[in-house]
Amino acid sequence: MPTSMGELGSYRWMAVGVSTAVNALAWGARSTFALFYVAILEEFAWGRGPTALGYSLSWLCFVVFAPAAGWLYDRWGVRTVVTIGGLALGVALGLTGQVTSLTQYYLCFGVLGAAGTACILIPSTAIVTRWFTRSRGTAMGVLSAGNAAGAVVFYPVNAWLIATLGWRSALIAFGAIVAAATVALALLYRDPPTDEKCPSMESQTARPTGEVWTLRRALRSPRLWAAFTMTTLGVIGFQIMATHQVAHAVDRGFPQSTVVRLFALGAACMMAGNLFGGWLSDHVGRGWVFALGSIVALVGIGCLALTRGPHDLPLLLLYAASGFGFGMRIAQLSAIPADVFAGPELGAILGVVQAGGGLGGAIGPFLGGWLFDITGGYELAFVAAGVAIAGGAVAAWFAARPIGRAPAADAKLEQSASPGRP
């Protein structure tokens, strides 16, 4: 266990690396669902709607499991809960490869998969927010970049597994990879120190306001529900765009190969936005960065909505580049509530806030498709996405009001992590 300030400074970034890796594993299972979705449709005559419901169910169940995972983290610690999550998600993927009915599919991928995902994502996020205060935004930017990295890494891996083994065996193999890698990485976790000589990040962040936040007290705070609304609306807007952007571009006559390359660029821009937005929020404030990222995202949505055909390639390119703005916002979704609600029950509180993401993930894809079905186009869906993005920015601004400065002890610790800093 590291004890000196220098060792603590070095270890904190190891914690970020471990959490980024396990986040990539968890998001890899969700972000590559489209590959298995196509293979499942080819084998079963379930229809697109009922089959896609398994994916929506994994988001909806996250609303329940995210607060539970945070509560367990506060009591059992990060290593135990992330290990449980990795095993649960690995088993869920393996069992999904054995299903023969919709009910089995919903239970394995939708319910058990959501439980495993929550037990990975919530503790791995909470532990990073507890290790960092002054550079929390930067740390969360690195962590959130792992979400996109999961897709970048596991899309080709799972495509190869499906082509080589078939979708059933591919899910079993992928589940084994997720379980083994998550359990191995979880062993590297350490909790922040709590002794008087080296106070924990958690207790330090509670001091500026003199408040100790419990879950019960936080649930009575308008700030918690502002953060919940920020997350819900932000994910609704993002998921409308992420789910339907390819279909809209193809409908407008763009070759699929062009679309894939452009949106791969968009994913890279989003990762860059994660890193930059996290760093910038440590210097100018979370609310300002969330607002700036939202403006960039809104401009991008407008560009996609105005795209009428292949001659509008510059507009599509601008939309892909606006992934930078979407990325700037993502790091703030956990950093903002962590700034406000530091305390012994931070995990449970973050779980409640992130449950909003599950709700948004369940609503966004369906809402975009439903609006397309009733209007015959995506114009109204893109308006809905823009309204959600703007509403999330307003909620973030309210939730991120300044509450005080980080104490000197934290500044000293963070300086020890950067030897070149005077």
pLDDT digits (tens, 9 = 90+) for 354-409: 899 989 988 888 888 888 888 888 899 999 999 999 999 999 999 987 654 443 33
pLDDT digits (tens, 9 = 90+) for 192-250: 765 434 444 434 444 444 567 888 899 999 999 999 999 999 999 998 898 788 788 88
Average pLDDT over residues 264-287: 89
Average pLDDT over residues 324-353: 89
Whole-structure pTM value: 0.78
**What pLDDT does 64 receive?**
92
pLDDT digits (tens, 9 = 90+) for 69-86: 999 999 999 999 999 999
**What pLDDT does 7 receive?**
58
Query: Domains (ranges, CATH) in the chain?
Result: 1-207 (1.20.1250.20), 213-402 (1.20.1250.20)
Stronger pLDDT, 40 or 321, i.e. the higher one: 321
Alpha carbons 362 and 326: distance in angstroms, whole number = 19
- Percentage of residues of the chain with pLDDT beyond 70: 88
Average pLDDT over residues 35-39: 82
Whether the predicted pLDDT of 130 surpasses 60 = yes
Average pLDDT over residues 293-319: 94
